[in-house]
Amino acid sequence: MTTLLLVLVVVLAIAMAYMNGFHDASNAVTTTITTRTLPESTALTLAAILNLLGALLGMMLIAVATPWALQLLGMTPLTQETSGQPDVLGLALIAIMLTTIGWDLLTWWMGMPSSTWHAFFGSTLGVSLAIGAPAAWERLGVMLGVSLVGPVLSATIAYLLMQLVLGLGRHEWLGRRHLRFAQTVSAGAVATGHGLTDSRLPLAVIVIAFATTGSSPSYTAAIMVAVAVAIGLGTLVGGHRIIRVLGRHLTDLNVAQGLAAEASAAATMSLGLFGFGSPVSTSHALASSVVGAGVAQGMRNVRWQVAGKILLIWLATPLACAVVGAALVGTMLAMTSP
């Protein structure tokens, strides 16, 4: 891979980390801002710091190596097909990341929570097929299974937690002050978990890019810090459109619902990180948890039309990104071919 392409890949990976933090800030701060448990600036600052720390912790806990990166992103078939053609792999990585960033921007503008992981995997599928490489169907199958189980599990846990909170409230064993404190802690857990999970995506892309040069990144620690800082800065800015949709349009969140939703999302993300072997989207986990907590107080507390739109975005994400990624890499290869 030429130096120019390598630099472009690294820059885009950092940009993708920033966009991820910006897009997914809603997962950690929606409930605390909507219920006025914390002022908006405080909530965003706390989430940004915990995202940064979670990202650093998550990246330091793994053995950063090419096999790990290829397995995480399901890119083994793509790298095998482009073996001996590092520039083609570089263009493929650029097409995948541009598609992922573009989809995050589009869904943020629409105010719809969506998964950066699903956008990335969908883009990888389209780019792989466009280049002539077989798709990593096994990895995609695991992701699909987790994508189906994760939201259902999140909604169920949130529903049960909400019933527990309501029961404790009726017996006056849980006051509003306790709820606000617990909600802040659970939101912090989601922010930390998001950093743990999503920092691995841009880091893995950089590792794969450096592998084409026959070496590993010379400044691994510096790259980790850059990825973590980018996620934290993106979170600090915050995706306000999605915050409004989750906190006001999907349901009218109260403090108890916020606690149940954040605690459920944190639990599901932990299962995905340490149990499922595949990341659970924080966007999917929180949106599903908000629905589950709302249903616990009555079906009418959830605006099902909004929930249906969110579900359509989830279904469209991998398919749309696959088409766009394939078209983009095809155009790039055509423009650069002699």
Q: Tell me the CA distances in angstroms from 76 to 69, 70, 81, 132, 333, one per residue in order.
A: 9, 5, 9, 13, 20
In terms of Cβ atoms closer than 10 Å to its own Cβ (0-12, 13-18, 19+), residue 39 is exposed
φ/ψ (deg, to 5) at 134: -70, 150
Q: How much is the pLDDT for 171? A: 54
Percent of the chain that is helix, strand, coil (3-state, to 5)? 80, 0, 20
Per cent of the chain over pLDDT 90 is 28
Asked whether residue 151 carries a pLDDT value surpassing 80, the answer given is: yes
277 pLDDT band (50/70/90 cuts)? low
Closest alpha carbon to 271 in 187, 162, 150: 150
**pLDDT at 239 > cutoff 70:** no
Task: List the one residue out of 129, 107, 99, 109 whose CA is nearest residue 205.
Answer: 99
Structure-token pair, residue 258: 């916020």
Q: Are 107 and 113 in contact (CB under 8 A)?
A: yes
Angle at 70 between CA 112 and CA 267, to 5 degrees: 45
Q: What distance in Å separates the CA atoms of residue 64 and residue 87, rounded to the nearest whole number?
A: 23
Residues 6+ apart with CB under 8 A from 7: none
In degrees, rounded to 5, the angle at the alpha carbon of residue 198 between the alpha carbons of residues 194 and 202 is 155
Most confident of 46-50, 96-100, 276-280: 96-100
DSSP annotation of 280: P
> Rounded distance, CA 297 to CA 61, Å?
40
Going by C-alpha positions, the residue among 107, 129, 125 that lies closest to residue 116 is: 107
Give residue 277's Cα distance to chain centre.
15
Where do the H-state alpha helices sit in 132-275?
A: 137-170, 176-198, 200-211, 220-237, 240-244, 255-271
Determine if residue 140 is left, alpha or beta; phi over 0 gives left, psi from -120 to 50 gives alpha, anything else beta.
alpha
Mean pLDDT confidence for 219-241: 85
Q: What is the DSSP string of 101-132?
A: HHHHHHHHHHT----HHHHHHHHHHHHHHHHT
Query: Quick check: 239 and 24 in contact, CB under 8 A?
Result: yes
- pTM, two decimals, is 0.89
Check if the beta carbon of residue 89 is closer than 8 Å to that of residue 212: yes
The Cα–Cα gap between 6 and 79 comes to 15
Please state which of the ranges 96-100, 126-130, 254-258, 308-312 shows the lowest mean pLDDT: 254-258
pLDDT tens digits, residue range 27-82? Answer: 777 878 887 888 888 888 888 899 898 888 878 877 677 888 888 888 888 888 88
Residues 333 and 55: their CA atoms lie apart, in Å, by: 34
What pLDDT is recorded for position 38?
81
Round the average pLDDT of the chain to a whole number and report it: 85
Residue 283 scores a pLDDT above 70: yes
